[in-house]
Amino acid sequence: MVPLSEPKAETSLVRERALRSLGELPPFSPILSKLLASLANEEEISFVKLGDLIEKDPVMAGSLLQLVNSALHARRGSINSVRHALSLLGINKLRNAVLGMSISRMWNQMRTPPSWSMARFNMHSSAAAILSDLLAQRLNVEYAEGVFVAALLHDIGRLLFALRLSEEYERILQMHESEGKALLECEMEVAGVTHPELSAKAIKIWNLPEPIQLAARYHHDPASDPSAKGRELTLSRVLDASNQYVNSKGVSIPKKCRDCMDPTLVESLGLPEGELQSVLADFNTEYEAMSAFFR
């Protein structure tokens, strides 16, 4: 990847505005705070504790039961209790589902410009998270449990551009489309900062583990990830492959991302062809079932 040039002097104020926008991120819900704390190993979360939290949030409880009763987890008879749903999904699947729903709901509370589609953003983030998690479960990658939330949050920087630097964001998109420059190059030229850099800074503010920060920071350039030294696979590489696969299927941010739509990257991760096809089939099933909750 061609190194990005340093921001020009006239972009310094834009960069400062972008960095200040990190202080305007919305507060977490109690459920989201607990789940993110568990990822950071600050406190263990049990079935009982998580069940108590979900039951205190009627909207979340209803969404969870709807998910469990969908075709994805269809069983004889309907599931009508949160505790039963927990026992069926397991702690990891349940945590991922609630993380996705909670983060989507948090974003939906924010005012966005007319040109920005929060539904598309949620769909892209959730699709990348689902595929990243399915791949990481089958690969020899350290801290695989963090890739789902890393994928959910990998494009926060892009959201911040749209919210706080809307004019500059439009210039970035126009430059990318009309001049054919790489998206990150356009971001650096216009704003003096890239969206992965902003995403990583936001994740650091939220005190999430360093592997999650690095996955978001290098999801467009995993070869530069400092955690890649001596390792065949990193979270950033899994996220990059998932992100590009999802983009190639038409669920991209922006709609036309010229340099980030390679569906073959998932093949380079090393899974046997039959196992990879099984993962992609599972992805399609899970995404169809969960996508309704991220709109």
Predicted pLDDT of residue 65:
84
| 30 cis-preceded (ω within 30 degrees of 0) | no
Q: How far apart are CA 119 and CA 55, in angstroms?
A: 26
The mean predicted confidence, pLDDT, of the chain is 84
> How do the domains of the chain map onto residue ranges?
9-24+114-294, 27-109
Q: What is the CATH number of domain 9-24+114-294?
A: 1.10.3210.10
pTM recorded for the entire structure? 0.84
Which of 54-58, 77-81, 168-172, 239-243 tops mean pLDDT? 239-243
Between the ranges 39-43, 90-94, 115-119, 260-264, where is the mean pLDDT highest?
260-264
Please list the alpha-helical segments (H only) found in the chain: 12-20, 30-39, 47-55, 58-68, 82-89, 91-108, 118-137, 147-153, 156-164, 166-179, 183-191, 195-205, 210-217, 235-248, 273-290
Per-residue pLDDT tens for 52-85? 888 888 888 888 888 777 756 655 567 888 888 8
Length of the chain (residues) = 295
Show Cβ contacts of residue 193 under 8 Å, excluding neighbours closer than 6 positions: 7, 15, 18, 19, 157, 187
